[in-house]
């Protein structure tokens, strides 16, 4: 990875780490499913009219949107609303890193080395430590919901990778990662609003939105703006760019730095002090996940899933990306 791309990765780390503070502020005002649908609807409406759809297979765009947009945030927002601490959420969500490696092996036929399997086992042991600590001090369900969110993110990672690798695009006109990210946002709004209507009440979210126009509602709008502009468009756009340029096992370890920012910001601004056992579990998770995701090789896309353009992309060729 080039120094410039490492800097872009660190930018994503900061944006996503602070994003958890914005999520907490938003969830204090909006119900979780409605809030998730709203964050993507704000993006999806202008995208449908002004952004050309990237020439990628619909099935991978839908997988990307379902995993990254629907599953991740439905579970994450529900977990945080149910009592999952903000800083700890930023850590447990990074379970997506070893999940991505495992899905790469199962779905993309990527061979796992022994050290990767060891790293996954260590990461799972760290999660068990955190789960034990949560069981002693609070409900375990929010932790399990956050783990499910991490699995959803992993499916989204695989979807974005397959979308770019299976694109019907020439080397001179590669897939625009930002356009792919923006069109991913078209997938979640309708399912999330439907879930909100069924579980939170048809009018609950809209009443909360109307109440946001009061003088006391501006923090919710500020949180929504941060999540949409910086957390989703900027952060996810850069992440998709990196996922399209490098193997998933090379990019995924960067996400392990997100909880460093998330826990630190929650400690500073929300007075959330994690227990010593949770911090120990966090360290074990980061060591294990980094080991699992730093020893992999490039994802090999199964031939039956590849849709090639004028230039054939082989498993060892880099996926075309926009020029620097």
Residue 67 has pLDDT above 90, yes or no: yes
pLDDT for res 286: 79
41 pLDDT above the threshold of 60: yes
Question: What are the residue ranges spanned by the domains of the chain?
Answer: 14-304
* Per-residue confidence (pLDDT) for residue 161, from 0 to 100: 84
How confident is the model over 226-250, as a mean pLDDT?
A: 82
For the stretch 256-277, pLDDT in tens is 778 888 888 888 888 888 788 8
Q: Can you tell me the mean pLDDT for 60-78?
A: 95
Contacts (Cβ under 8 Å, ≥6 apart) of 295: 113, 115, 116, 119, 249
Comparison of pLDDT for 314 and 281, the residue scoring more: 281
Q: What is the mean pLDDT of residues 150-173?
A: 79
Tokens for 215, please give them. Answer: 């003088």
Residue found under tokens 């439905």: 74
pLDDT of residue 312: 38
54 CB-near residues (< 8 Å, 6+ apart): 61, 163, 167, 175, 176, 179, 180, 183
Quickly state the pLDDT bin for 295 (edges 50, 70, 90): low
For residue 213, the SS3 value is coil
Phi-psi region for residue 271, left (φ > 0), alpha (ψ -120 to 50) or beta? left
């Amino acid at each position: 990875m080039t120094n410039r791309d490492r800097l872009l990765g660190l930018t994503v780390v900061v944006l996503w780490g602070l994003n958890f503070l914005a999520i907490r502020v938003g969830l204090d005002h909006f119900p979780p499913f409605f809030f998730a649908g709203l964050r993507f609807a704000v993006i999806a409406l202008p995208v449908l009219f002004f952004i050309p759809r990237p020439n990628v297979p619909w099935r991978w765009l839908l997988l990307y949107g379902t995993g990254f947009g629907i599953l991740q945030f439905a579970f994450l927002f529900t977990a945080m609303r149910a009592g999952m601490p903000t800083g700890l959420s930023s850590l447990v969500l990074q379970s997506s890193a070893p999940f991505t490696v495992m899905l790469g092996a199962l779905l993309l036929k990527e061979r796992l080395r022994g050290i990767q399997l060891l790293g996954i086992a260590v990461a799972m042991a760290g999660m068990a430590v955190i789960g034990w600590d949560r069981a002693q001090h609070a409900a375990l369900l929010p932790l399990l919901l956050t783990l499910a969110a991490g699995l959803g993110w992993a499916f989204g990672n695989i979807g974005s990778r397959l979308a770019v690798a299976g694109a019907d695009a020439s080397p001179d006109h590669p897939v625009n990662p930002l356009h792919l990210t923006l069109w991913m946002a078209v997938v979640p709004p309708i399912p999330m609003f439907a879930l909100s209507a069924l579980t939170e009440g048809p009018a609950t979210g809209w009443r909360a939105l109307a109440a946001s126009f009061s003088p006391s509602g501006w923090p919710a709008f500020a949180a929504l703006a941060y999540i949409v502009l910086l957390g989703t468009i900027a952060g996810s756009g850069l992440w998709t760019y990196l996922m399209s340029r490098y193997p998933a096992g090379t990019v995924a370890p960067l996400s392990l730095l997100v909880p460093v920012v998330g826990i630190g910001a929650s400690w500073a601004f929300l007075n959330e002090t994690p227990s010593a056992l949770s911090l120990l579990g966090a360290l074990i998770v980061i060591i294990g996940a980094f080991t699992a995701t730093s020893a992999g090789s490039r994802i090999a896309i199964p031939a039956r899933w590849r849709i090639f353009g004028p230039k054939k992309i082989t498993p060892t060729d880099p996926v075309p990306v926009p020029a620097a």
